[in-house]
Amino acid sequence: MTASVTTPVYRALFCDLRTDRLLDVLPLTETKFDDYIGKPGSLSAKVPLPSGPLAARARAALQPGRTAVWLERDGDIWWGGILWTCTPAADEQGRITVQLQAGTFDSYLDHRILAHDLADTGIDQFDIARTLVAHAQEQSGGDIGIEPGHGRSGVVRDYAYAYTALARVRELLQNLGQLSDGFEWRVHCYRDADGRRVKRLQLGHPRIRTGHTDIVLNHPGQVLAYSLPTDSTVQANVWVARGDSVNTDQSQESQPLTVRESNPDDLAAGWPRLELTSDHSGVTDEATLRSLARAELARQNRPEVIPELTVLLDGRITPALLGARIRLRIHDLWHHEGLDAAYRIVGIAVTPPQRTKAETAVLYLEGA
């Protein structure tokens, strides 16, 4: 006897961003959502409005910039973020729908700048990250409930952030994590043991790791499709980083601080000289700029490989596994001798089940 397959139930909760007070639960169609380590995730969906009462509810609940969106799957939180755009539209038959676009809660930090200078010496880089988030939430109207978490990285740094630079808090966090011996961060959304919806700042040095055992995925098998691109257009063995000007003599032409880092072993091994550059607004310290250049060089020293897998969701893969290791096994015409390699999940894009389509996810991977 074949076991029956239960279709998962998705539910969208719309809440006040600052208090998390539930405003409404509305039906969604054409839903797609994703989440990543290293960049904001997104959600897109439509709310069908077949009646006046439902349209009135939607108008009250869907307020871009101040409404939080939580997406549940069978009661578990699978995605959380902020409603940023809301587009009501009518078709030729007079049917009304509202198109929604939302971003994960870390996207809020793109809309915040420092209220005053911040500086200190000899501070663990995780504590600097928490200081930046706490600073954003300490300002009037700025607390959206991101919990700071705990733990240390063991890497101590000095920092000085000037209000006059008008840098966004997310940019400061991103730049801090990209320093040599830096860290990864995201806002992890889940429901705790008391049933409370949680937004927690998740930090990992040097990378975010979740889970203790590898998840084995096979093709043919649970992996429906795969793509394993190798891209050397972003490869470099010489990196030039440019910061802000440090010239204090107004009579002289202002020149930005510029440093160069290289990997001479690559050139000695026969690789051609491959150069890339980066700009770092607000950086005027040479040591900091060299640290950023070395970190970029380490990341881009070999061709970039970003595997993508399309998988059926069978209960093992959830957004909570960002940072988890998988073991990918492929046997086909290209991998005729068989591929057995370890990767880490750094992104997930989910398409909930529809009338004629099963629930699937695209996994974005990097070498473990």
Each residue of 18-31: pLDDT tens digit? 999 999 999 999 99
Average pLDDT over residues 67-84: 97
**Span 258-275, pLDDT tens digits:** 999 999 999 899 999 999
For residues 316 and 203, give the distance between their C-alpha atoms in angstroms, rounded to a whole number.
23
For residues 114 and 162, give the distance between their C-alpha atoms in angstroms, rounded to a whole number.
8
8 Å CB contact between 115 and 356: no
In the predicted structure, residue 251 carries a pLDDT above the cut 70:
no
In the predicted structure, residue 150 carries a pLDDT above the cut 60:
yes
Check residue 314 and give its pLDDT.
83
**Span 90-118, pLDDT tens digits:** 999 989 999 999 999 999 999 999 999 99
**Span 123-145, pLDDT tens digits:** 999 999 999 999 999 999 999 99
**Span 314-329, pLDDT tens digits:** 888 999 999 999 999 9
Question: Secondary structure of the chain in the HEC alphabet?
Answer: CCCCCCCCCEEEEEEECCCCCEEEEECCEEEEEEEECCCCCEEEEEEEECCHHHHHHHHHHCCCCCEEEEEEECCEEEEEEEEEEEEEEECCCCCEEEEEEEEEHHHHHHHCECCCCEEEEEEEHHHHHHHHHHHHHHCCCCCCCEECCCCCCCCEEEEEECHHHCCEHHHHHHHHHCCCCCCEEEEEEEECCCCCEEEEEEEECCCCCEEEEEEEEEECCCEEEEECCEECCCCCCEEEEEEEECCCCCCCCCCEEEEEEECHHHHHCCCCCCEEEEECCCCCCHHHHHHHHHHHHHHCCCCEECCEEEEECCCCCCHHHCCEEEEEEECCCCCCCCEEEEEEEEEEEEECCCCCCCCEEEEEEEEC
**Span 204-220, pLDDT tens digits:** 999 999 988 899 999 99
Q: In CATH, what number does 10-107 get?
A: 2.30.300.10
Q: What are the residue boundaries of the structural domains of the chain, listed by start?
A: 10-107, 112-204, 210-229+306-367, 238-299
Class of domain 210-229+306-367: mainly beta
Largest Cα–Cα distance of the chain, in whole Å? 86
Share of the chain above pLDDT 70, in %: 97
**Span 280-309, pLDDT tens digits:** 988 888 999 999 999 999 888 887 777 899
Say yes or no: do domains 10-107 and 210-229+306-367 share a fold: yes
Q: How far is CA 130 from CA 8, 185, 196, in A?
A: 36, 11, 22
Average pLDDT over residues 176-182: 93
